[in-house]
Structure 1
């Protein structure tokens, strides 16, 4: 008996009076990966390894280097931690599905947890980008007020608010999505549990859920993006008022990395959540970009565009290389 036949005979539904409730889902994965699963497994493993190591290196550098104590690097540490977790929510399950058929199976509770963690981290990152734009606005447009306005307590408070708001935002969507009855089919035409493809399997009218999703996510994303745009309008005006070309270059160089990651973060989700009924295997390409590729690129974007981070990385590497080996006498 083939593994596929055995898998299809697995009990996927639990009987209830007059209804059945799905106890497991099957993630169909990404298009075109089934033809060369080993190759794609190695590719995703490489991307995931680079993502985790890169973001952890940035996090360790920011936390350990005394020269990186400004609010911008405080928020960069939070961003690096978010990106490492963000990739961990989806990529290991994708790799498991490429290895075995059982790796595609996810329990009902596991699907709910994955959806919650994904939207928790994604919304927290959305709020964090807005806070980082506000930080750049104060630093460039109000430099005299900046040290007082963005003190250590304010930075910790803003970071805490982003995490708490992201948790609450995700809890609303997760409870609304999994409050519905799911009685089959159980195949999710996607590579992870997200709201649009999961709602397609509900045995109930999902119009209200889709409206709430579009309104809530739309308001949050549009609101954050609008605040970022307004911040950069003021920043651009302030930079143009700087008389020297070197001053303008230095002021704008602190913003280009943030602008780049904001564009990479916002563009793909707009393609997905503004068309909730189109969630499927074909919609996986933009999702792969912002869930898997962008978290890998962020450490390189901030490192290559920031001389202070590059110098801190060199100091960290030199310090590590100078540590005496085990069993060797101290210098």
Structure 2
């Protein structure tokens, strides 16, 4: 793929989206961006991205359209709303939704794209702000295998583990698997650190032993130090994590699957939202243990 001839539109430049855009710019792609608040896109504009005042203006001349917004309702609006991608796009475009969203919505997007002679991938990511900054995101893709192969050179600009999971919606289902593990392991990390402190240990020294052993995980290595430092700023927002857990629980219910661990995590994060922590990072769960 000739990067000089591929024009990209990117809708949503939040904590992770902005870093992805910078990787695309560094790879010499021409990128047009849109986000509801222009100020949030200022860093990528200064890095070389072109600002568009509307979704329609952003996607009009693009070959590939990325979306990375907050909620399934935002995805719905961006794709199906008046002046949205499907109303403003063109035949031959590829649309790639990296929002963690509903598998059913991913299937709807793929079906509508096919009707319009466009192509679609659902491609949610994992790795948080650190993975986005380093260009090492895990990308879980659903759609046709041919389209996955076609888009792989672009995805490789900001992803490290990029896996084709199956038909439309499969990427989103895989992301639910990812979030289920994170939700329950986050409880384990918080409880481990709380136990270390109550036992009179230095939890930072404890981490030196357990982070590289059988208990090791991304959460333990990357978020536990933030917890201990009192750094609860978002690499991934509590409000978005709660949204993900709600999607996973809805899908599990539809499959007649009980997930009691996920239900517990959902209740704990819902409590955080009710306490005003919705815009903090997911590691703020630790405060539920330290403030008792």
TM norm structure 2: 0.31
Largest Rg, 1 or 2: 1
Q: Which has the higher contact order (CA 8 A, sep 6+)?
A: 1
More helix by share: 1
More strand by share: 2
